[in-house]
Amino acid sequence: MRPLLHPSVEDVRVEAILHALSDPARVAIFIQIAGSGSAANCAAFATIAERTIPKSTLSQHFKVLREAGLIRSERQGVEMQNSSRCSEIESRFPGLIPAIINAHKVQSAAGAGPPRDA
């Protein structure tokens, strides 16, 4: 098996974080992981916002989150356990992750969907 890429906190870039969290499914996955305080396996996210996510798409979402430095993934048998790297990100970019999570909560509470063309 190929080793998983986890960038060092010094290599984490704001642009990568913002890109990773620009997808509604990825931000939902990340917020669940960040809010749980414990590792979760990939199968726990097979359904997001009442939508079933294909395994291949889910794997890609986790790869993007991992390579952006937002999560740490570890193989345990046949499962992949994913945990948040919020404390590491907080030390590099103070306030960034809480601001993003808060903005997502505000947007969700307002029922805002994706932008519409005029």
Instruction: Write out the residue range of the structural domain in which residue 71 sits.
Output: 11-107
Does 2 map to a domain? Answer: no
Q: What is the mean pLDDT of each run of 10 residues along the chain (118 residues)?
A: 85 96 93 86 78 88 95 88 94 95 89 55
- Quick check: 26 and 66 in contact, CB under 8 A? no
What CATH number should be reported for the domain holding residue 22?
Answer: 1.10.10.10
Q: How many CA atoms lie within 13 A of 111 on its CB side?
A: 0
Cα 92 to the center of its chain, rounded Å: 17
Q: How many domains does the chain have?
A: 1
Give every CB contact of residue 70 below 8 A, 6+ residues apart in sequence.
17, 20, 21, 30, 84, 85, 89
Query: Tell me, what's the pLDDT at 55?
Result: 87
For 50, which DSSP code?
Answer: T
pTM reported for the whole predicted model: 0.84
Give every CB contact of residue 23 below 8 A, 6+ residues apart in sequence.
61, 64
Query: Tell me, what's the pLDDT at 38?
Result: 79
C-alpha span between 30 and 91 (Å, rounded): 18
Query: Tell me, what's the pLDDT at 118?
Result: 43
81 - beta bridge partners? 41, 74
Does 30 map to a domain? Answer: yes
Query: Tell me, what's the pLDDT at 48?
Result: 78
Query: Tell me, what's the pLDDT at 116?
Result: 52
Query: Tell me, what's the pLDDT at 114?
Result: 56
Does 112 map to a domain? Answer: no
Give the 3-state secondary structure of residue 73.
Answer: strand
Query: Tell me, what's the pLDDT at 47?
Result: 77
